[in-house]
Amino acid sequence: MRQTLGKRLLLLGFAVFFIVPALSAQAFPPSQRFIQAGGGIVPGIGIQGGYFSRGDFITTEVAGYFHMVPALLGGESTFLFSLGAGGSLRILHILNMAGTTDVPDYQFDAGLRLGPSFFYVVGGENANPFSLFLDLFVRGARELPDGRTLFVELGIHEPLVRAGFWIRL
């Protein structure tokens, strides 16, 4: 039963990773599509990468997370791999469009991602390594003169604090 569930979650993750970018490519112009790359901390360290499209009101995105907590930080060494799809509401951009603010180089989003997750404990009990995760997050971003966008994101899925760049496709 557990192997079947794990295979289904993995299949769902791969489907989400390939289907969401294809669907969002139809909805958003090429100038609004990005690769997202960054790192994360708390607890431990991690990396995050994915595909990101933004419209006037929402974003669609697929992100992969790899996160580890080494034993030297206390406890057992753990590894976490997750693949999630979701989106966000572009709060500051909506306010800019409504004329209530005027900060075009900055963004503030609130959103969620959902998908399969694999958790592994080195030398420990790995009874049920597969699960589904939900990551609620808030994100601030600043567009740089070279076309990249710097972002900082706080979420409820590890790594909890993430930062990096969006690189325009």
Give pLDDT tens digits for 39-96.
Answer: 999 888 999 999 989 888 899 999 999 999 888 866 688 899 999 999 999 998 888 8
Q: What CA–CA distance (Å, rounded) separates 52 from 133?
A: 19
State residue 59's pLDDT score: 92
Tokens 């969620």 correspond to what residue? 112
Measured at the CA of 144, the angle between CA 158 and CA 149, to 5 degrees, comes to: 30
Give pLDDT tens digits for 80-136.
Answer: 999 999 999 999 888 888 888 777 778 999 999 999 999 888 877 777 789 999 999
Which pTM does this prediction carry?
A: 0.79
Structural contact between residues 122 and 77, judged by C-beta atoms closer than 8 angstroms: yes
Bond from prior residue into 70 cis (ω within 30 degrees of 0): no
Domains and CATH numbers, the chain: 2-168 (2.40.160)
Structural contact between residues 168 and 33, judged by C-beta atoms closer than 8 angstroms: yes
